[in-house]
């Protein structure tokens, strides 16, 4: 009781000081709740973070540890992924399976803003917690928030975990009596069940967030609608429905939280944040070539061209550059390997060429290749470019006459120079494979190094192989040895433990033939050991116009499962074979040019048939956040825990962290559970990724 009085006295003192203050510091943005996502403590608010904000949150009390990641995908949509460590429960009763690991619950939350705050109207949002989880904390809510000076007031109504006290009548009961009852039984992990939404008892909740005159400190007072009568952790005593807390902004990227909840429980936590939209590279780079024109004769000198080719390679980032002329057009061709935003490479290439340009050239065409397939040609009018480089009088500026076109490759040219291409390449890269939240162990990993060798037999035929060496891994804890009793699915992915236990193995060894077929159509055929678990043959065709919102592709494969018993056995195959492939449509909505939707239908590795939907958001920094789900004709019972394949991923451009420009990326994926249904072949090359330069939207 003394602690409670102390907290309330401190809050009253701060409010009193604020009422006498003449000025208040500027707001520093909404804060994260205990569950992740913007909110007070146990309850949400209608507030949204800035678009692109990414928060990592940790909260700890006697019963639970909450680990969550929240991303503000759009100004109106907040998503949260959460793991809850239930400190009072074991993961399972089978010690040989889960050992002493405490129970881990996975959950996914969504919050959608209905309208923004106005002069009179509050900001209003609707949301749901624990979508597709076991239902430990599932709940729905509608909430409103209104600011007044340094105070931010919130009032909402919650159902499920947020409304167990039932302090108001569920308004939907008047519509249909079935809404008066809610099935509170916990569901199977990974299942989606919307039939209980807005059912059962309802409760009002709300509170105040107060920005103190000292800007780093904010205080929170909350009234919650949960009475903890259905808590998974066991009986929890609630002495008060009021919670109080403080949040301290330790740095622009870190908050420290302390609260006193239920009248008897301390909650401690931290939040780390950044913004995916505002991150920018800070690497050192060579300056762009200065514009110092020295017009050349129609027949270029070898020494001049040699210098241009060198600058194209090292300054503009074009590997294997070529310079050709035909009539009044000069062609530059190469593969951009330096700049993620290829416009930078185009600008530099044009400057390099313009400095030593023959007087008879009227058009520049710079064509970007990938794997010796042309992607896009940037055509620039020389006279227009010259005006821009020389500088135009203020008020008399003209737009640069430059367009992106379907690849234009001359059949024959009058002059041509190039730097010999290296046909062999070898590299060694670190590899970290990981999974979270499994019943055997919360975190499993495989750390190793991958040596990769590439040999171009011809300009179109590439042979490539990767040898993986284990440094350390913990997949010996992966105890999934038998599928569900009623499942007839072949084990196409759940032998992962047996594969990764080999210290050294050939990850892939294959031949690929790439060909640009003309009219924005690309093709490849391939064969060999295509991934860790499967080998075979296949082909893919893609139609992708330049800067189009649409693309279509199809791939077809016949594969056999690689033997997993030893590294030598992995060069052999088991008796299992399957035909697999997909028809895929790629769509960038006109109203959301930073979103990519991929929808595919086909047959998967286990022989099941269905479709995959993949939606990704591309932020201004180049970071990509996406989620996917696959539904097939396999029943939830046959699939097993998780019901269907799903996951999220983040792709991070490494030039945000490197000392120089690079096109490399780090990819982080999260799949709740590895099961055999809905599994796709892990092809090393896919044509849509290879042809990324055909779109200006995704860099």
SS (H, E, C) 376-432: EEEEEEHHHHHHHHHCCCCCCCCCCCEEEECCCCCCCCCEEEECCCCCEEEEEEEEE
Sign of CA dihedral 229, 234, 240, 243: negative
Sign of CA dihedral 336, 342, 346, 348: negative
- As a whole number of angstroms, the distance between CA 398 and CA 410 comes to 30
pTM, two decimals, is: 0.89
Residue 673 confidence (pLDDT): 73
**H helix intervals, 286-326:** 302-314
215, two tokens: 């800007």
> 3-state DSSP helix/strand/coil percent for the chain, to nearest 5?
15, 45, 40
Residue 161 confidence (pLDDT): 93
- Condensed to tens digits (0 to 9), the pLDDT of residues 209-267 reads 999 999 999 999 999 999 998 888 888 999 999 999 999 999 999 999 999 999 999 99
Residue 26 confidence (pLDDT): 63
Query: Of 575, 500, 503, 490, which is closest to residue 531 (Cα–Cα)?
Result: 500
- As a whole number of angstroms, the distance between CA 316 and CA 343 comes to 10
Query: Of 369, 377, 540, 545, which is closest to residue 459 (Cα–Cα)?
Result: 369
577 vs 491, 557, 673, 683, 695, CA distance in Å? 12, 11, 24, 16, 37
- As a whole number of angstroms, the distance between CA 445 and CA 432 comes to 7
Task: Note whether 488 and 534 are within 8 A (CB).
Answer: no
Residue 192 confidence (pLDDT): 64
Residue 186 confidence (pLDDT): 65
Query: Of 107, 286, 264, which is closest to residue 187 (Cα–Cα)?
Result: 107
Task: Note whether 69 and 75 are within 8 A (CB).
Answer: no
pLDDT < 50 positions in the chain: 2-3, 17-22
Residue 20 confidence (pLDDT): 46
Contacts of 148 (CB under 8 A, 6+ apart): none
The owner of tokens 């055509």 is: 379
Task: Note whether 431 and 412 are within 8 A (CB).
Answer: no
Residue 479 confidence (pLDDT): 64
Bridge-partner residues for 525, per DSSP? 513, 539
- Condensed to tens digits (0 to 9), the pLDDT of residues 417-431 reads 988 888 999 999 888
Query: Of 676, 372, 661, which is closest to residue 494 (Cα–Cα)?
Result: 676
Length of the chain, please?
A: 699
């Amino acid at each position: 009781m003394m602690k409670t009085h102390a907290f309330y006295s401190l809050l009253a003192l701060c409010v009193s000081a604020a009422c006498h203050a003449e000025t208040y510091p500027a707001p520093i943005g909404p804060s994260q709740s205990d569950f992740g996502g913007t909110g007070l403590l146990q309850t949400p608010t209608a507030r949204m973070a800035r678009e692109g904000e990414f928060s990592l949150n940790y909260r700890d009390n006697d019963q639970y540890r909450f680990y969550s990641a929240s991303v503000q995908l759009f100004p109106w949509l907040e998503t949260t992924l959460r793991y809850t460590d239930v400190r009072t429960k074991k993961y399972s009763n089978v010690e040989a399976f889960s050992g002493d690991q405490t129970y881990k619950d996975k959950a996914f939350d969504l919050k959608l803003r209905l309208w923004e705050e106005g002069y009179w109207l509050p900001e209003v949002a609707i949301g749901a917690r624990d979508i597709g989880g076991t239902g430990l904390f599932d709940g729905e809510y509608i909430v409103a928030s209104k600011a007044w000076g340094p105070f931010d007031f919130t009032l909402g109504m919650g159902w499920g975990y947020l409304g167990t006290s039932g302090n108001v009548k569920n308004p939907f009961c008047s519509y249909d009596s079935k809404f008066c009852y809610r099935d509170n039984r916990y569901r199977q992990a990974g299942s989606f069940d919307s039939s209980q939404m807005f059912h059962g008892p309802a409760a009002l909740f709300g509170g105040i967030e107060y920005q103190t005159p000292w800007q780093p400190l904010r205080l929170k007072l909350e009234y919650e609608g949960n009475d903890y009568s259905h808590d998974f952790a066991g009986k929890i005593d609630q002495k008060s429905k009021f919670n109080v807390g403080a949040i301290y902004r330790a740095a622009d990227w870190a908050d420290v939280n302390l609260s006193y909840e239920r009248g008897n429980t301390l909650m401690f936590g931290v939040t780390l944040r950044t913004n995916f939209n505002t991150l920018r590279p800070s690497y050192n780079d060579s300056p762009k070539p200065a514009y110092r024109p020295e017009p050349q004769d129609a027949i270029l000198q070898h020494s001049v061209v040699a210098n241009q080719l060198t600058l194209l390679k090292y300054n503009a980032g074009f590997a294997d550059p070529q310079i050709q002329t035909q009539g009044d057009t000069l062609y530059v061709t190469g593969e951009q390997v330096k700049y993620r935003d290829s416009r930078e490479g185009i600008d530099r290439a044009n400057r390099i060429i313009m400095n030593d340009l023959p007087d008879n050239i009227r058009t520049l065409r710079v064509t970007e290749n990938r794997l010796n397939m042309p992607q896009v040609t940037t055509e620039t009018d020389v006279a227009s470019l010259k005006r821009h480089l020389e500088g135009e009088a203020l008020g008399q500026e003209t737009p640069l006459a430059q367009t992106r076109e379907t690849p234009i490759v001359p059949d024959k040219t009058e002059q041509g120079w190039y730097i010999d291409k290296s046909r062999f390449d070898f590299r060694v890269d670190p590899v970290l494979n990981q999974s979270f939240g499994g019943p055997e162990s919360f975190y499993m990993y495989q750390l190793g190094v991958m040596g990769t060798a590439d040999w171009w037999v011809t300009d179109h035929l590439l042979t490539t192989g990767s040898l993986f060496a284990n440094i350390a891994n913990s997949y010996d804890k992966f105890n999934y040895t038998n599928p569900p009793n009623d499942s007839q699915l072949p084990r196409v992915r759940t032998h992962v433990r047996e594969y990764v236990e080999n210290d050294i193995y050939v990850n892939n060894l294959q031949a690929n033939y790439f060909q640009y077929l003309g009219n924005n159509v690309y093709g490849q055929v391939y064969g060999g050991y295509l991934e860790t678990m499967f080998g075979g043959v296949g082909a893919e065709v893609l139609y992708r116009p330049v800067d189009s919102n649409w693309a279509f592709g199809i791939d077809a494969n016949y594969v056999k499962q690689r033997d997993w018993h030893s590294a030598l056995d992995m060069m052999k195959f088991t008796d299992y074979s399957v035909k697999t492939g997909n028809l895929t449509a790629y769509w960038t909505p006109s109203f959301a040019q930073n979103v990519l939707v991929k929808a595919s239908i086909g047959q998967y590795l286990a022989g099941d048939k269905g479709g995959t939907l993949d939606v990704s958001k591309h932020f201004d920094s180049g970071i990509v956040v996406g989620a996917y789900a696959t539904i097939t004709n396999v029943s939830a019972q046959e699939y097993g825990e998780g019901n269907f394949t799903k996951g999220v991923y983040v792709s991070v451009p490494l030039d945000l962290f490197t000392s120089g420009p690079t096109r490399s990326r780090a990819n982080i994926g999260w799949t709740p559970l590895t099961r055999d249904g809905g599994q796709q072949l892990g092809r090393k090359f896919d044509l849509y990724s290879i042809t990324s330069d055909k779109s200006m939207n995704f860099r």
